[in-house]
Each structure stands twice: as C-alpha cells, then as structure tokens.
Amino acid sequence: MEQFPLRGRVALVTGVSRRIGIAYALTRRLAAWGADVLAHSWAPHDAEQPWGEDPLGAEGVLGHLRSELPKGAGRVVGRSGDLGDPTEPAAAVDAAVAAFGAIDVLVATHARSSLQDLAGLTVAELDACWAVNVRGTLLLARRYAEVRDHSRPGGRVVWFTSGQHLDPMPGELPYAVSKGALHQLTLSLAAEFAPRGVTVNCVNPGPVDTGYADEATYQWVRERMPFGRWGRPDDVADLVGWLVSDAVAWMTGRILDHDGGWSLRVQR
C-alpha cells in the first residue's frame, strides 16, 4: 500500500471525544493515511456516563491525536456539538467543507448510550436515543449528499450498528432500537447514494475495549472470545480504513460483523 492512500480526501468523523474510543482510532488512521479530517465530539455525553469524560478535554484529545500522526499526515481540526440538536448535523458537515473545501468521507461513529430495560423505559430516553443515533445520522447523510461534489472520487459513508441483530439487549432498549434502525436503513441509503458513486456500509464492531465494562463483564467477555481478547479500537480502524479507501468501491449496502468471532461464543 502507498504511504498516504487517502491523500486529497476529506473526512468527517463523529464521536471523537476519548483517546480510548473507536472514533479516535479512526480519525488517527484516516489522517495518518493522508486524509484531512474534521473530528466531531460531544464530551458532555461522556460526562453523564460511568466512564466519564476524557481528562484531557476536547482540545487536549485533539492535541494528543495530532502528536501521534506521522510526518506528512493529513490535517485534523475539531468541532464540538450535540448531534441531538437538529441543526448540528448540517453545521458539522458545513464545517468540514469550510475547513477543507470539500467532503468525501462520512464516518458516523457517535452514539448515545442508554441503560434502560422495559420496566425503566422512559419517553425522554427513547426520544434522545432516536434524536442522536438515528435522526442525527440521517441528517448528516442528507447534508453530505447536498454539499458533496459527486464528481470527486472516494465517496464513502460508514456508520455503526451494534450486536442487537445477534444477541438480545434487554437492558439497553433505547440504544438497541436506535442501532437496529441504522442497521435496517443501510440498504435504503446505499440505494439512494449508489447513482452518485458513493458507497454506504454499516459496521458492527463487536465487543471493543473502550473502558466501559466493569471487571466482571470484562473477564466474562474475554473468556468467550475465540482469540482470548476483546477487540481494540485499531481493529475497527483497520476495517474502516479499508472501507473508505479506493480498494472498496464495489461493495455497498453491507452489514459487516467485524466482531472477532464474538458470535461464535467460544467458552475457553
């Protein structure tokens, strides 16, 4: 592979708020391969979760990411905003175009997490997960379609589902139903974008160690993984880097279970 296979491409990656996160690894990979990247984050969501906000803060996370890039890598700029706000998706896409003059790649890695079972289900949480995970992603895609110069090569859209199509998630119902919606939307959006030369694919990354699991859960999962370990953010970056490269211009509308064989459920 050439050193900078994404040179000249512009990407928007959402969910880039923690150094241990998947989106951070994706941004680092795309920039290392030469793409200019707008890294979008919303740290207040992390602050509400058990894992908490990255102690470096948004600017510190971006500074750390830039320090890890090789010489000649693409540029990385940041933007913070709540994708549950219906105006923010378009503003994020427009910010990428303003920073770099175009947009080619959209990687929607953001997600609102939610721990609600049927008994504890609330209308507010259902609406919040819908707004961020589904509406926010669709509005990102719509604005991308509106402003992208489709004469440019390398049009790619990638978003993320979870394992709700493989395993029950009764304790995360608002999250599971919203991720299921993205799963089901993949074919429809792939059909919408194909005449414009843009691929649309969806990734289920399986169990990835981003610091959210307690020790008991971590060990339970690790013991059942065929390779004896959790996934790493760079494992996901390997796949997404490939998906947005010129090597993958003929695959679209796919749900990719990139889960290290988690669905095999091996008891070690």
* Residue 51 pLDDT: 82
Task: Report if residue 155 sits inside a domain.
Answer: yes
- pLDDT mean values, one per 10 residues, the chain (268 residues): 92 97 98 98 89 92 97 98 98 98 98 96 98 98 98 97 91 96 97 98 96 92 93 98 97 96 72
Task: Report if residue 214 sits inside a domain.
Answer: yes
* Residue 49 pLDDT: 83
CATH number of the domain residue 37 falls in: 3.40.50.720
Q: Which residue has the tokens 């961020």?
A: 132
147-164 exposure pattern, b = at least 16 Cβ within 10 A, e = fewer: ebeeeeebbbbbbbbbbb
* Residue 225 pLDDT: 92
Task: Report if residue 1 sits inside a domain.
Answer: no
* Residue 264 pLDDT: 81
Q: CA angle at residue 16 from 11 to 18, to 5 degrees?
A: 155
* Residue 48 pLDDT: 87
* Residue 47 pLDDT: 87
Token pair for residue 72? 């000649």
Task: Report if residue 268 sits inside a domain.
Answer: no
Residue type, 206: G
Range of the domain at 250: 10-262
Task: Report if residue 101 sits inside a domain.
Answer: yes
Q: Which residue has the tokens 């691929």?
A: 199
For the chain, what is the domain count?
A: 1
Residue type, 80: S
